[in-house]
Homo-oligomer: A and B are copies of this chain.
Amino acid sequence: MRIALLGGTGDIGEGLALRFARDTDHEILVGSRDPEKARDAVEAYVTELDDRGVEADVKGFGNEMATDRADVAVLSVPPYYAGDTVEAVEDVLDAETILVTPAVGMNGDEDGMHYHPPSAGSVSELVAARAPDEVPVVGAYHNLAAGKLADLDVEFDLDTLVVGDDADAKRTVLDLSNEIAGLRALDAGPLANAAEVESVTPLVINIAKYNDDLHDVGVKWV
């Protein structure tokens, strides 16, 4: 399978690229608005993987070309770019490309982070509204701390929640996610349930803020 990480030079994109490359046999396509930036990032990722004895299939492209080649395209961009990124690649999206969205709308104040969804109800539903109708949209990877994700020395024992309205696409993302070592993917229902999933992200940041012995907090559902 070909997995594109759009905005794959950012922290979530980096972590997913490294872990998919290390733990699976899939082809990894790192996308960026600037293809040169994507290729620079890939060079660093390949060096890091090579240092760990992993020969990985990772390449860099512009976001549109990465999407065009992908079976699964992850929108690993900040929430306020999610809609625009969908529009930038919509000509190459179709029913055969699963669009995965991990972004979460938040704002912060002195108390901590607060969930701040777009008017669509959640970023996942915003992405679904902005994508062409036939494109299956799946929410996943919202609650993985970027710091842990991108540090391959950290062994995972974490869950990620997956939401989506297309059962086959959701199954594909659940199975794909379970291929990452130490990651368990759980179904949290349709996109209508995305807000409760997304709102865990400010919460894990708050838990890290108020508990000195917890950093880069993740979650296990037990």
Contacts and interface: CB of A to CB of B under 8 A. Distances in A.
Given A157-B222, A219-B219, A219-B220, A210 B196 contact: no
Interface residues of A, number: 36
Contacts of A220: 219-220, 222
Contacts of A192: 109, 111-112, 114
Interface string A64-100: 0000000000000000000000000000000000000
A210 B187 CA distance: 6
Contacts of A190: 111-112
A186 B210 contact: yes
Label chain A's interface by main secondary structure: mixed
Nearest to A148: B222
Contacts of A112: 188-190, 192-193
Interface string A204-220: 10110111001001111
Copies in the complex: 2
Nearest to A161: B207
28 contacts: A109-B192, A111-B189, A111-B190, A111-B193, A112-B189, A112-B190, A112-B193, A113-B196, A114-B193, A115-B195, A115-B199, A157-B222, A186-B211, A188-B206, A188-B207, A189-B206, A189-B209, A189-B210, A196-B200, A199-B199, A200-B200, A204-B221, A214-B221, A218-B221, A219-B219, A219-B220, A219-B221, A219-B222
